Structure 1
């Protein structure tokens, strides 16, 4: 019974988020039309040289590489140091994805958006 309730709750949350997003967006656009304001902020720019999905894919791949590298470093901490086993894994699993995301930030800045 619990998995059914969880699935229904998850679906209701996702539906509610999308419903509120589209309803609010529609109200904002209608208010701009009623007040004769410029609605050019809603137009999608086509002059981007690299799409947004490339940035997301770059950051996702760097995070996954950071997690794998974190497991490797954690294993090395466990084998060659006197640190607590859990402490080495936890520290490396928080530090390395963060470092790889920082690298992704600098790589994204070099891309032409």
Structure 2
């Protein structure tokens, strides 16, 4: 009986995940087909915003990964050379350096956004 409960739980979990993903993709497909049938240009289907967000996402994850790895390294030094416990050394430095790296990303993203707005403004003036 316990084996049956485990099997049902696993099947229902993966089945619901598949169902959600299927619904998302089918809805997007239907929306796109309706847009194509109504004569909307194909340029609207592929947005440059998605590509820009992908680039900025890679920047974000890269900066955070660097921050967390520096936090782990500093945590190792604190654990080795001080009387700080292992858990406190690692967790405090990972969260501290991870937070600092998020602040760095925020500043970089703000600069990138300001530059893209300035470029768009210049493109509008000279077009």
The alignment covers a number of residue pairs equal to: 99
* Higher relative contact order (CA closer than 8 Å, sequence separation 6+): 1
Q: What value does the CA root-mean-square deviation take over the aligned residues? A: 3.6
**Larger CA Rg, structure 1 vs 2:** 2
Runs of 4+ in 1 over 6 A off after TM superposition: 7-10
Unmatched 5+ stretches in structure 1: 34-41
More helix by share: 2
Aligned twin of 2:101: 100
CA distance in 2, matches of 1:57, 1:26: 27
Aligned twin of 1:71: 72
Unmatched 5+ stretches in structure 2: 1-6, 36-43, 118-127
After TM superposition, list the pairs within 5 Å mapping 1:1-113 onto structure 2.
Answer: 12-25=15-28, 45-46=47-48, 51-111=52-112, 112=116
Task: Compute the TM-score of the two structures, normalised by the length of structure 1.
Answer: 0.62
